[in-house]
């Protein structure tokens, strides 16, 4: 039997995906809660779905657009309470944001697209 030391350390060494272009895109989208568009929308890294770690920010693809006020509310009450209170599934918001981002970069008709994260 292999010990924990023999197991691949892939996840410990892997760097989360970072993209300033994607963060700018997320900030340009309407707030997932209020629909507000414009100055004051921030890209929030969703932590309640995993992908981060102790002191580690989740990858940029796990961002959702929120107004400054909604972002403060989320941190004040916690993610699970925030999403439940607003009746939103953060994974759905992430998937839809990714879908629009990739559709704008490359039309859907030119390549197959898997929406397994949205099922």
Predicted local distance difference test score (pLDDT) of residue 16: 76
pLDDT of residue 2 exceeding 50, the answer is no
Q: Flag whether 5 is in a domain.
A: no
Let me know if residue 88 belongs to a domain.
yes
Q: Is residue 10 part of a domain?
A: no
The predicted model gives 34-61 an average pLDDT of: 83
Residue 79 placed within a domain: yes
Q: pLDDT tens across 55-109, in order? A: 678 889 999 999 999 999 999 999 999 999 999 999 999 999 999 998 887 665 5
Share of the chain above pLDDT 90, in %: 57
**Domain housing 88:** 15-49+57-106+114-118
Q: The whole model's pTM is what?
A: 0.74
Q: What is the model's pLDDT at position 118?
A: 52
Mean pLDDT over 29-51 rounds to 90
Q: Is there a domain that residue 8 lies in?
A: no
- ∠ Cα 27 33 36 (to 5°): 55
């Amino acid at each position: 039997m292999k010990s924990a030391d023999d197991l691949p350390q892939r996840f410990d060494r892997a760097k989360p995906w970072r993209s300033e272009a994607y963060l700018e895109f997320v900030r340009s989208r309407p707030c997932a809660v209020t629909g507000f568009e414009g100055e004051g929308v921030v890209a929030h890294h969703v932590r309640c779905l995993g992908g981060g770690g102790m002191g580690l920010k989740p990858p940029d693809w796990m961002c959702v657009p929120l107004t400054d006020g909604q972002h403060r509310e989320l941190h004040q009450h916690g993610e699970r309470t925030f999403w439940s209170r607003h009746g939103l599934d953060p994974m759905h918001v992430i998937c839809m944001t990714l879908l629009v981002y990739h559709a704008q970069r490359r039309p859907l008709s030119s390549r197959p697209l898997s929406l397994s994260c949205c099922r």
